């Protein structure tokens, strides 16, 4: 992910609805029921690109399930609630949201991984300012989206990597990425967190202080979840969803230019922005095909501890069920 509190412009939200409507016009080619699933920050970030590709290319249908649309949400608990209330209770959520739901006693199980890179996250400053590096932020204010958010977590992890005491940098909750950039332009903060594709759209206005993917190692940022009840009652549907998404991931890596064309149309991005966004995420290997990596899961847990979102280690054996993954992904995983 990436950020549970991510706020983007209405342009992307309208684009999300456009893709959902277009997908519903695709004719059914086999006797499967039309379904909708939930993806965090759908239409706002590149988390959901493999789903868009899979819908566009009919890959879900080939896997045995007709996913006709994606339910959008602001992330976090909202996405989890949407999933639990859905006819087909499967969705991709931030790891922090999945862990929070489990702590609250919700009937969820993690069945695949989603994204595994923080390359879309960065911090920007004004081009004519005196902030040239992370070290230059000492004694200054920076805008994060909200306390304990992934944006704050990644910033804290970068500070730790650079050996900087986080108490020496004042973090200001802006309420969203665009809000933070407005604060930056008004001189209220010296830096502001950013995320793609927003950071690409606005790249001529700012200078990057750091890109998280250049500093931090890969970590699992989102996971696929469902209810234990649905997993038990509809295992074939769940396997088909995971297989269709995997096919979307593989198609994205095989043809980044084609994937860029899909979001160019559906997210209403310029060709240059769409291409740069997809190329950046392909280069960082953003999307997992579904297998689990214990080290990458634990790196996310380490970050969540850093901001006080969780206190203890996570017993993944109680939350993860790998039985719905194809055999090669089970063998490839390191859980």
Give one DSSP letter per residue of 139-207, joined into a string: TSEEEESSTTSHHHHHHHHHHHHTT--GGGSEEEE-SSHHHHHHHHHTTS-SEEEEETTHHHHTGGG-E
H or E stretch including 122?
strand 121-125
Residue 178 CB neighbour total at 10 angstroms: 18
Alpha helix stretches (DSSP H) within 203-270:
212-215, 228-233, 235-254, 256-266
Each residue's pLDDT tens digit in the chain (335 positions)? 444 344 343 433 433 333 344 333 333 333 345 688 888 777 667 888 999 999 999 999 999 999 988 876 555 566 788 788 888 999 999 899 999 999 999 989 999 999 999 999 999 999 999 999 999 999 999 999 989 888 999 999 999 999 999 999 999 999 889 999 999 999 999 999 999 988 999 999 999 999 999 999 999 999 999 999 999 999 999 999 999 999 999 999 999 999 999 988 777 789 999 999 999 999 999 999 999 999 999 999 999 999 999 999 999 999 999 999 999 999 988 88
The beta-carbon contacts of 256-260 under 8 Å, at least 24 apart in sequence, are 256/282, 258/53, 259/49, 259/52, 259/53
Q: Name which of 100, 95, 118, 145 is nearest 46 in CA terms.
A: 118
Task: Say how many CA atoms lie within 13 Å of 225 toward its Cβ.
Answer: 31
Residue with tokens 């993690």: 110
φ, ψ dihedrals at 237, nearest 5° = -65, -40
Half-sphere exposure (Cβ direction) of 39: Cα atoms closer than 13 Å: 23
Asked if 295 contacts 333 with a C-beta cutoff of 8 angstroms, the reply is: no
Burial 27-49 (b: 16+ CB within 10 A, else e): eeeeebeebbbbbbbbbbbbbbb
Does residue 197 have a cis bond before it (omega within 30 degrees)? yes
Measured CA distances, 16 to 5, 70, 119, 258, 269 (Å)? 17, 8, 22, 18, 12
Q: What CA–CA distance (Å, rounded) separates 7 from 9?
A: 7
Instruction: Provide the whole-model pTM.
Output: 0.84
Query: Would you call 209 helix, strand, or coil by DSSP?
Result: strand
218 Ramachandran zone, left/alpha/beta (phi>0; psi -120 to 50): beta
* Residues sharing a CB contact under 8 Å with residue 332, sequence separation 6 or more, in sequence order: 291
């Amino acid at each position: 992910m990436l950020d549970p509190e991510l706020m983007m412009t209405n342009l992307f939200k309208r684009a999300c609805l456009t893709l959902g409507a277009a997908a519903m016009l695709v004719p059914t080619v086999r006797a499967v029921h039309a379904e909708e699933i939930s993806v965090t920050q759908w239409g706002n970030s590149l988390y959901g690109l493999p789903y868009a590709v899979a819908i566009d290319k009919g890959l879900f249908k080939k896997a045995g399930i007709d996913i006709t649309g994606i339910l959008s949400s602001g992330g976090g608990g909202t996405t989890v609630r949407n999933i639990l209330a859905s006819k087909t209770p499967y969705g991709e959520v931030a790891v922090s949201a999945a862990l929070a739901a489990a702590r609250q006693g919700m009937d969820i199980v993690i069945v695949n991984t989603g994204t595994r890179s923080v390359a879309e996250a960065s911090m920007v400053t004004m081009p004519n300012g005196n902030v040239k590096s992370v070290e230059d932020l000492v004694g200054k204010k920076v805008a994060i989206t909200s306390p304990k958010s992934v944006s704050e977590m990644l910033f804290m992890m970068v500070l730790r990597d650079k050996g900087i005491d986080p108490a020496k940098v004042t973090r200001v909750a802006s309420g969203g990425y665009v809000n933070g950039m407005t604060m930056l332009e008004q001189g209220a903060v010296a830096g502001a967190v950013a995320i793609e594709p927003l950071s690409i759209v606005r790249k001529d206005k700012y200078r990057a202080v750091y890109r998280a993917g250049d500093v931090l190692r890969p970590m699992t940022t989102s996971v696929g979840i469902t209810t234990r009840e649905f997993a038990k009652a509809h295992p074939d549907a769940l396997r088909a969803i995971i297989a269709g998404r995997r096919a979307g991931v593989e198609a994205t890596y095989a043809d980044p230019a084609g994937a860029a064309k899909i979001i160019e149309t559906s997210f209403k991005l310029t060709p240059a922005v769409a291409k740069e966004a997809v190329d950046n995420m392909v280069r960082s290997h953003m999307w997992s095909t579904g297998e689990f990596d214990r080290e990458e899961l634990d790196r996310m847990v380490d970050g969540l501890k850093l901001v006080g979102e969780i206190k203890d280690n996570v017993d993944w054996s109680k939350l993860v069920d790998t039985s719905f993954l194809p055999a090669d992904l089970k063998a490839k995983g390191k859980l």
